[in-house]
Amino acid sequence: MSAPRVSIVVRTKDRPDFLERALSSITGQSFADWEAIIVNDGGNPAKVAALVAGLPRATDRDRMRIIDHEESRGRWVSANAGVLAATGEFLVLHDDDDSWHRDFLARAVEYLDAHADRQGVVSRIEIVWEHEENGRFVVDEREEFQAQLTAPLLTDTLLFNRYVPIGFLYRRSLHAEIGLYDEKLPVVGDWDFNLKVLSRGPLEYLGDEPLAYWHQRRGATGDSANSVAGARSDHAKYDASIRDEALRSWVEDNGSGLVLYLTKFIDQRFVDVENGIRAEIVASSFWRRVLRRVRRR
């Protein structure tokens, strides 16, 4: 049998309600030439197996494989386990609590077939704010993520991650060129990978309509939390770690002269702006006092 066009990697751990929705998102795609690799990172294997076995179509069940980790190994070790098991030309990470528009894969594959020079393609992403209520998910509101951007650019992504895995279909061959996800990072591994991809060449959005849905839950804790909220301190820590490592590498190759200059230059600009704001406040306060005196006369 020939390999499928698309390999979908799903990481999960003891979140059967989320996983059931993710499997529905995958099996509901209008594009059918895919395989799904479910990496169960230390969760109950029987529940994962039961969800796959319960899918109504045998063709969907046959296209799914399960990798069970006896104990949790972490987000990016699990992602790499799926990547290494994948056989498709294209690859995407489908987190177990996210979902797609039914035409996401069809549109993304069509784009990459028509643009052989592109490493991947990014869908516009819609944040779906939701909460759990009596065993079901209730949508509170929706908003487009980074709607102001015209393309997923390196210049913007240097500041923070501008697209999440659910919206990024890419060529699996990228891993042979830039390596796997960094397993030392408990979080922000996708940002680190995206920086490497964007450093090699540009990406485009797959039209203006969001076809990828990033589900988030305000105030959720434990298994229901998103990493951006549930592991906020880790995000800050490893964001700083990636930047520091990149800076060290640059200084090793180029010396510290430019960064020493820029550090002082930028700091002085902040001081100038702060002093300007203070001066405006003082001037405004002065004229308010003058105006009050005029009105009293």
CATH code: domain of residue 177: 3.90.550.10
Establish if 148 belongs to a structural domain: yes
Q: What's the number of domains the chain is made of?
A: 2
- Residue 48 is predicted with a pLDDT of 97
Q: Return the CA Rg of the chain.
A: 24
Residues 153 and 293 reside in one and the same domain: no
- Residue 120 is predicted with a pLDDT of 98
Residues 170 and 291 reside in one and the same domain: no
Residues 192 and 295 reside in one and the same domain: no
Residues 243 and 261 reside in one and the same domain: no
Establish if 75 belongs to a structural domain: yes
Q: Which of 118, 236, 125 is nearest to 186 (CA)?
A: 236
Residues 125 and 198 reside in one and the same domain: yes
Residues 50 and 88 reside in one and the same domain: yes
Distance CA 265, CA 267 (A): 5
For residues 171, 176, 182 and 187, what is the CA-based torsion angle, rounded to 10 degrees?
0
Distance CA 257, CA 251 (A): 8
Residues 233 and 294 reside in one and the same domain: no
Residues 296 and 182 reside in one and the same domain: no
Residues 147 and 269 reside in one and the same domain: no
Q: Are 214 and 136 in contact (CB under 8 A)?
A: no
Domain assignment of residue 267, given as a range: 256-297
- Angstrom distances, CA of residue 170 to CA of 93, 119, 166, 237: 10, 6, 11, 28
Establish if 1 belongs to a structural domain: no
- Residue 296 is predicted with a pLDDT of 65
Residues 98 and 214 reside in one and the same domain: yes
Q: Which amino acid type is present at position 246?
A: A
Q: Are 195 and 81 in contact (CB under 8 A)?
A: no
Q: Which amino acid type is present at position 87?
A: T
- Residue 292 is predicted with a pLDDT of 72
Q: Which amino acid type is present at position 260?
A: L
Could you tell me how many residues make up the chain? Answer: 297
- Residues in the chain with pLDDT < 50? none
Indicate the burial class of 228 (C-beta count within 10 angstroms; 0-12, 13-18, 19 or more).
middle
Establish if 24 belongs to a structural domain: yes
Establish if 119 belongs to a structural domain: yes
Establish if 103 belongs to a structural domain: yes
